[in-house]
Structure 1
Amino acid sequence: MSEAIRPDDQLRLFIERIERLEEERKGVADDIRDTYNEAKSQGYDAKIMRQIVQLRRMEPHDRQEMAAILDTYKAALGLG
């Protein structure tokens, strides 16, 4: 029969797991930053690329709604 994990051991395991995941997240964030820098060095606009990534994450109906609201605001301000 296996012995139950003590609460203090369980807490330590959770903390260690979180620390590993945080380190992985930092590594991924560094890779993303490096990719944007590489694209920028090839002449692409990283700011626009970030906006495109954000748009691609959105559901189509949310994207359409945002575009409609943006058009309404631009028209109200005489921008377009």
Structure 2
Amino acid sequence: MMDVNFEHPAHRTEGGFDTLDLAVDLVIDPDLSLLRWKDEDEYAHVRRLGIVSDNEHQAVELAPGPSAGHARRPRGAVRER
């Protein structure tokens, strides 16, 4: 199974590195036959709180297409579980 984690890019701070997990993942079956969201309830909660912007939400919503393409050649944010 592949797991696509949605988060802000890490950036250096005085104390090390900082990032923000957007609280939702996309799980892709090895044969690419099934893509499903994980932690949708947590994601809905951070959306209600305004932590995830409308622009970020749009990017997450569009991600299943490109994510499936990356799953064919794992690299970057897509990793084996």
Pairwise TM-score range, normalised by the shorter structure: under 0.3
Higher relative contact order (CA 8 A, sep 6+): 2
Q: TM-score if structure 1 supplies the norm length?
A: 0.23
Which protein is richer in helix relative to its size?
1
